[in-house]
Amino acid sequence: MASSACVLIYQLPTDNFILTIPLFGGVATSIDWGDGNFSYDNNRVHTYATAGTYTVQVMGSGIIMMDQAHDVQNSAVQYLIECSSFGEIGLTSLDYAFWRCSALTTVPALLPAGSNITTMAHTFDSATAMNSDLHQWDVSYVTNMSGMFTDATAFNNGDSGNNGNIVLNWGNKTQNVTDMSYMFNNASSFNQRINSFNVSSVTTMEGMFNGAILFNNGDPGNNQVHPIAWGTHTGNVTNMYSMFSNAYAFNQDISGWSTGSCTNMYAMFSSTTVFNQYLGSWDVSNVQDMGSMFSNARVFNNGDLGNNQGHPLAWTTSQVTNMNQIFQNAYVFNQDVSGWNVSAVQDMSGMFRRAYLFNQDLSAWVPSSSTSMYRMFRDATAFNNGDSGNNQNKPMTSWGSHLSNVQDMGQMFENATAFNQDVNNWDVSNVSYIEYMFYGATLFNQNLSTWNPTNASAVWGFLSGCATSITNYDALLNGWSQRTLQEGLYFSNMGLVYSSASSTARHLIETSYNWNIEGDIQTSVNPIPTNTNITFTITGNQNAMGDYLSAGHTYRLVDLSNNPVSGDIVLDGSVAYPTLIFTNVNFTTSGSHLLNLYDVTNSQNAGYDFPYNIIVSGGMACFKEGSKILTMEGYLPIEQLRKGDQVLTSRHGFKAINMIGKRVIDHVVSEERIKDQLYILSPSKYPELKEDLIITGCHSVLIDHFEEGEKEKTAIILGANYVTDGKYRLPACVDQRTSVYDKKGKYTIYHMALEHADYYMNYGVYANGLLVETTSKRYMKELSEMTLIE
């Protein structure tokens, strides 16, 4: 009887236990219940008088299913400890055969002779103690292995450790399987080689190794010596959703897989924390969903072991509609994806969030279908569209009109601390959310005055903590005040500074659209000079103090060490727009000065997320338009020069222009020799000049020695005496050979920084024949308030 019987062993915990055996279909001709009782009437339910261990043997025919989930009444799944034989009773299905059999340790080494078993879906699902060797199972007729070992947390094909030495060598026996979805899902001990599997008929591998935290195709380390060389056999797979998600140990070569039929790769490598294989040759031309594909794949860099950027991910992505979080937390990923066709992608939210090394040029992307860019580059601290410095030479203006479908740009560049590219022409007319869009993007300083945020309903923190200059913030307020805006919005731009040039526009936005604007501060002059008394004004919201100001409290401006830089002011809350006016604030040095608003009453800072970033100019050191610079092509007007042009230096030969910029100034024609006006240098005083040269008062001629009194005056103007290319710098306003330019009006002035290894250093060059200074890259980037010219 036993030779052809299905044998199940139970350990029953209580007296009078009612057991229903999990066998369905056909006729059970004989059941030995193991307690001295037998059934011959096909009755499959039995009551045991006492607790104990019982061996149940079932004979019969046409019994096609062993299924613990088919009928859970009187279920004893947790008390089944062994199945020693499947018998020859007609089984064709092992779907859920041992589902939730948490005490099961042993199953037969062989399937029934001449087995016609065709489906094994969830066979060992949640059989958490089972670890039998199944490599001899003849699974030739099986078509469905979905969930077969799901949550079988002890299963490792008989291997009691993580040795990878008992291969699940089913080979061609799997050639009829079409469904391997979730086959090893959460099989947290499994790590045997399965590369022999013939997967040529498989159409879905969804979640196949999801949560199989030790799986590495039998490799117990990270030796990458066990490739899963399925090659063209994966050509029928259409679904690889979450295939290796949370397979923490997996890192084997799968580069040769045929993926041309696959449409879904969502979260395929999500949280594969050591995976870094080359996938550049994959055909993904039919994939529609790549959401979270490499999310949390923290070392994935397409097989590149460093940051060499030599392994482009040159995929055909024209069918992809979802790239949500595709590289989120892929900390080291930085390969070329510039050629991706993203025209069908609708969701780009979180794409490169916390991809800390990513900095590729995405200018060629056409995101014309995108509706969400929420957190797209948040915390992508290296991203600058392929610009490796702050050269602002990789504009993203090509995205421009292609953004008309985007509705959410919230937090898009939040804490993207390297980003500073031109986005001035972006179509944001349909965007509803731009809150925190550039929050903490500490280098971002672009003119957004042409943006039309007419549908924006969330704008808080938009530019908080950015490097946005007074000029660019003024331009934004002036530009946006001419738009039709949503009413009643909260617009905090903490740390920003505006001037009287935009104060009317700012007030207009507050009164016309009932916006609450706070976190910024107004300066009485722009640019802010050294050694000059400046007035700073903080204006509260209409009939309100906002979140940070309190009526009757005393405030002062302090530096980051809490040293006062202003007097104390008591806030009067009885007026419509309460203000704090700090006078006689004076800076003796140029550069960035970070100030906080200090609440003296509460003995703490007022609570703004970022200090005010006060950029103090050392004085405008520039050429008036028309000044001719000696280049490789001869003397050319400075306004005709561009980045990359070669300029002759006094000691270092020709050097390329790194940055060139311009701005408009008001030339006041003051009799006092102030630094922020124009001076004329004539050939009568400078024989080497070919024609008059007009420069600003802080622009220096390079000289061999000072005349009487010049050294001391220069130190006052520049803060010290400096040398460029072996010669002293003499500002035009100190040089007694110069005269104040006598034509009052607005003029465009230019300056340039040449390529230099030292961020803070400049060169001597020839302007109209006279040796003068260029400026440093630091001045152009941080202090010049100029518009850079490409």
Interval 734-755: pLDDT, tens:
999 999 999 999 999 999 999 9
DSSP 302-313: TT-SSS---S--
Average pLDDT, the chain: 94
Angle between helix axes 500-513 and 470-480 (nearest 10 degrees) is 40
User: For residue range 116-150, what is the model confidence (pLDDT) as tens digits?
Assistant: 999 999 999 999 999 999 999 999 999 999 999 99
- What is the separation of C-alpha 618 from the centre of its chain, rounded to a whole number of angstroms? 36
Whether 727 has a pLDDT exceeding 50, the answer reads yes
- b/e map of 296-306 (b: 16 or more CB within 10 Å)? bbbebbbbbee
Give the Cα separation of 376 and 396 in Å (integer): 14
The C-alpha R_g of the chain, in whole angstroms, comes to: 37
Give the Cα separation of 598 and 586 in Å (integer): 18
User: For residue range 471-498, what is the model confidence (pLDDT) as tens digits?
Assistant: 899 999 999 999 999 999 999 999 999 9
Contacting residues for 467 by C-beta, under 8 A, at least 6 apart: 420, 442, 443, 444, 445, 613, 782
User: For residue range 616-649, what is the model confidence (pLDDT) as tens digits?
Assistant: 876 777 999 999 999 999 999 999 999 999 999 9
The predicted structure's pLDDT at residue 2: 43
| Phi, psi (deg, nearest 5) at residue 517 | -105, 125
Contacting residues for 306 by C-beta, under 8 A, at least 6 apart: none
For the sheet with 52-61, list strands across it. 38-39, 27-32, 52-61, 6-12, 80-85
Helix (H, G, I), strand (E, B) or coil at 644: coil
Average pLDDT over residues 508-527: 93
What amino acid occupies position 641? L
Give the Cα separation of 670 and 229 in Å (integer): 80
Long-range pairs of 42-47 with CB within 8 A, sequence gap ≥ 24: 44/20, 45/18, 45/19, 45/20, 45/21, 45/74, 46/18, 46/19, 47/16, 47/17, 47/18, 47/19
Instruction: Tell me what percent of the residues of the chain surpass a pLDDT of 70.
Output: 98
The predicted structure's pLDDT at residue 546: 61
User: For residue range 177-214, what is the model confidence (pLDDT) as tens digits?
Assistant: 999 999 999 999 999 999 999 999 999 999 999 999 99
The predicted structure's pLDDT at residue 545: 55
Instruction: Tell me what percent of the residues of the chain surpass a pLDDT of 90.
Output: 85
Half-sphere exposure of residue 300: CA atoms within 13 angstroms, side-chain side: 31
DSSP 510: H
Give the Cα separation of 393 and 295 in Å (integer): 30
Helix (H, G, I), strand (E, B) or coil at 775: strand
Whether 363 has a pLDDT exceeding 80, the answer reads yes
The predicted structure's pLDDT at residue 578: 85
User: For residue range 11-40, what is the model confidence (pLDDT) as tens digits?
Assistant: 999 999 999 999 999 999 999 999 999 999
The predicted structure's pLDDT at residue 477: 98
Give the Cα separation of 313 and 315 in Å (integer): 6
The predicted structure's pLDDT at residue 115: 81
- What is the separation of C-alpha 748 from the centre of its chain, rounded to a whole number of angstroms? 39
The predicted structure's pLDDT at residue 786: 85
User: For residue range 227-280, what is the model confidence (pLDDT) as tens digits?
Assistant: 999 999 999 999 999 999 999 999 999 999 999 999 999 999 999 999 999 999
Residue 605: pLDDT band (50, 70, 90) is very high
The predicted structure's pLDDT at residue 427: 98
Q: When comparing pLDDT for 391 and 157, which is higher?
A: 157
Question: 72-76, 110-114, 651-655 — which one is most confidently predicted on average?
Answer: 651-655
C-beta neighbour count of 604 within 10 angstroms:
11
Give the Cα separation of 362 and 567 in Å (integer): 49
Whether 1 has a pLDDT exceeding 70, the answer reads no
Give the Cα separation of 267 and 271 in Å (integer): 9
| Phi, psi (deg, nearest 5) at residue 174 | -95, 10
Give the Cα separation of 413 and 436 in Å (integer): 8
- b/e map of 183-222 (b: 16 or more CB within 10 Å)? bbbbbbbbbbbbbbbbbbbbbbbbbbbbbbbbbbbbbbee
Residue 703: pLDDT band (50, 70, 90) is very high
DSSP 384-420: STT-SSS---S--TTTGGGGTT--B-TTTTTT-TT--
The predicted structure's pLDDT at residue 75: 72
| pTM metric for this prediction | 0.84
591: enclosing H helix or E strand: strand 591-599
Give the Cα separation of 789 and 422 in Å (integer): 11
Output the CA torsion 634→636→641→647 (10° steps).
40
